[in-house]
Structure 1
């Protein structure tokens, strides 16, 4: 417990004690052992003093690109070259749920009516 490690290694990776370590600390306190303050078991990065010192400075806004500092770097960054992906290109329009399910609207020229055809050839459906 003094090294702030536990077998699951979560305490080492995150900086906060895992549930197993908290249970052990509580058990030590119940048995009368000296455990100290609980905030001492958490990494100092999570403490309020650290957060206050991190955000104590201010960032002054600037009015656009003309106020950016000029770089002394001789190279310029360019985007990577574009290459066409293999395979058939995607359709420009995404289909609605009705179109995906196979329902199609068919219009009759004679009487100007519409009917929904469910994936069946209309010439076979009328016979």
Structure 2
């Protein structure tokens, strides 16, 4: 199926979620070219019902609600943080955690 606009034509393959303008591949939201193709294929009255089929699953209301299902506990203040002396992120690596070495960059220092 092809939609032809003022700036030229765009190929729209609805069932493959492949749109030549690239909008869906970038954002997951159907562009105006897809809306025209849906209205042509399904009929103008069915656009409202069919448009949700062409939106990425991560952008649906149910996916949004799933984001906040679990409880998010607040982070305690810095006085209650446990002191970490060794690197525990990499197993078997027990070097003390220090900031990276400071090196003076060439050129005039900024004020």
TM-score range, shorter chain: 0.5 to 0.7
Residue 83 (1) aligns with residue 96 (2): no
> Any gaps of 5 or more consecutive residues in structure 2?
1-13, 89-93
- SS for the counterpart of 2:25 is helix
Which of 12, 32, 35 matches 1:22?
A: 35
Pairing 1:1-127 to 2, within 5 Å after superposition: 1-30=14-43, 37-65=50-78, 66=80, 68=82, 73=88, 74-90=94-110, 92=111
Moved over 4 A (4+): 67-72
More relative contact order in 1 or in 2 (CA 8 Å, sep 6+)?
2
CA distance in 2, matches of 1:6, 1:54: 28
Residue 13 of structure 1: CA displacement? Answer: 2.8
Does the CA contact (< 8 Å) of 2:87 and 2:97 recur in 1?
no
* Bigger CA radius of gyration: 1
Number of aligned residue pairs:
90
TM-score, scaled to structure 1: 0.54
CA distance in 2, matches of 1:72, 1:89: 33
Residue 30 of structure 1: CA displacement? Answer: 4.0
